[in-house]
Amino acid sequence: MSGLTKLLSDATVGDVIAVLERDGGVIIEDFLAPETLKGLRRDLLPLLERQPTGRDGFAGFKTRRLSALFAHTRHCAEIVTHPLYFTPAEHFLCRSRAVWVGDDQLTLAADIRIGVTQAIQLAPGQAAQPLHRDDTAFLWRHPTGGREGRVQIMCALSDFTAENGGTLVIPGSHHWDDERKPELSQAIPTEMKSGSALIFLGSTFHAGGANTTASEYRTAVGLALDASNVRQEENMYLSLSSEQVASYSEEIQRLLGWSAGSNHMGWVEVDGQMVDPIHLLKDENRSSLKGVGAGRHG
């Protein structure tokens, strides 16, 4: 394959689904309306500039990340509801299951939640990220049989090139089982103009590319739509204040959901890093809790 398949923004939902089923990823050219692209750049670029760089090879030592995006810009709403993203996501995430409740056999399906929001900017000199699947957060099993946990989008706020770190994707890797190791030699860089978007399945191997340019920044808004069954049933975050949670032992704090674990489910951004919320309940870190999300820049 010489490049990832590109569709124009007048493609049908069926076209997008067909390419995702075959390759696990697809580029939609001119995905963002010009005013959406302009608004995202205006709202997010100054905030990204103030973020520190990552502290490990996965987050990227020369990468700036900004989360809680719905607190920082209104324009993410236009991305998640775009019919060429939302409707294919529904197709992969909302598969129904028959379940017995007493005498009734019901057909239930998950609906959709926004799983991650993150602007990602790779500076010159950033090395390639390790290849991974984004549904690793859910410890999803592969092959998925068509039932995905996550459908991800990377909207380009700058041009994406092979040289500036355009996302590496291994086409077809969503069909692989969990034993098969991904290799960089199999990955294809995402090359697209600013305003275009890469959509890929949670089971597709991908990585941020290496930025080998002297002075170009590669900037994206990454968002994930997730199946709503990958969360706690009762909403503990709204039911208990952080003070109430902090009054319990660490074991109970984690069980109430204030824990990200080794699979990083439930992290929260503090000072540009994705941290385990358990740390915020400790007395010495309680002040950071006020810095989470909108409060920090508001």
**Which part of the chain contacts Fe ion (CB under 5 A), choosing from 109-117, 127-135, 230-238, 250-258?**
127-135
Minimum distance, C-beta of residue 207 to ligand AKG, in the bound complex (Å): 6
Q: Which of 23, 134, 191, 269 binds ligand AKG (CB under 6 A)?
A: 134
The alpha-helical segments, DSSP class H, found in the chain are 13-23, 34-50, 69-72, 76-80, 83-93, 236-239, 242-246, 250-255, 286-289, 294-297
Q: Can you spell out the DSSP letters for 170-193?
A: -TTGGG--TTPPP-GGG-EE--B-
Using the rule CB under 6 A, is 208 a contact of ligand AKG?
A: yes
Residue nearest to ligand AKG as judged by C-beta position:
208
Residue 166: CB minimum distance to Fe ion, A = 14
- Applying CB under 5 A, among 23, 134, 135, 226 the residue interacting with Fe ion is 134
Considering only residues 135 through 154, tell me which ones interact with ligand AKG, judged by CB under 6 A. 154
Candidates 273, 275, 285, 274; CA nearest to 246 is: 285
Q: Please answer whether residues 168 and 128 qualify as being in contact, where contact means their C-beta atoms are separated by less than 8 angstroms.
A: yes
CA distances to 24, 153, 171, 181, 191 from 19, rounded to whole Å, are 7, 15, 10, 23, 17
Distances (CA, A) of 130 to 21, 53, 63, 171, 209: 24, 17, 14, 16, 9
What would the two tokens of residue 120 be? Answer: 């990602």
Minimum CB separation of residue 274 from ligand AKG in Å reads: 9
- Interacting span for Fe ion (CB under 5 A) from 74-82, 134-142, 143-151, 285-293: 134-142
List the one residue out of 257, 253, 254, 250 whose CA is nearest residue 231: 257
At its nearest, how many Å lie between ligand AKG and the CB of residue 65? 8
Q: Side by side, which strands form the sheet with 168-169?
A: 188-189, 168-169, 206-207
Report the residue number, 90 or 134, with the smaller CB distance to Fe ion: 134
Q: Which is nearer to Fe ion, 114 or 236 (CB)?
A: 114
The piece of 94-102, 126-134, 182-190, 281-289 that touches Fe ion (CB under 5 A) is 126-134
What mask, x for binding ligand AKG by CB under 6 A, covers residues 155 to 194?
------------x---------------------------
The region of 200-208, 237-245, 259-267, 281-289 touching ligand AKG under the rule CB under 6 A is 200-208
Span interacting with ligand AKG, options 38-46, 66-74, 135-143, 204-212, rule CB under 6 A: 204-212
Separation CA 35–CA 273 (nearest Å): 29
Contact 272, 261 (CB under 8 A): no
Contact 134, 160 (CB under 8 A): no
Total of chain residues touching ligand AKG, rule CB under 6 A: 8
Residue closer to ligand AKG by CB (options 144, 219) is 219
Instruction: Confirm if 208 and 128 have CB atoms less than 8 A apart.
Output: yes
Write out the residues near Fe ion by the rule CB under 5 A.
Answer: 134
Write out the residues near ligand AKG by the rule CB under 6 A.
Answer: 120, 129, 134, 154, 167, 206-208
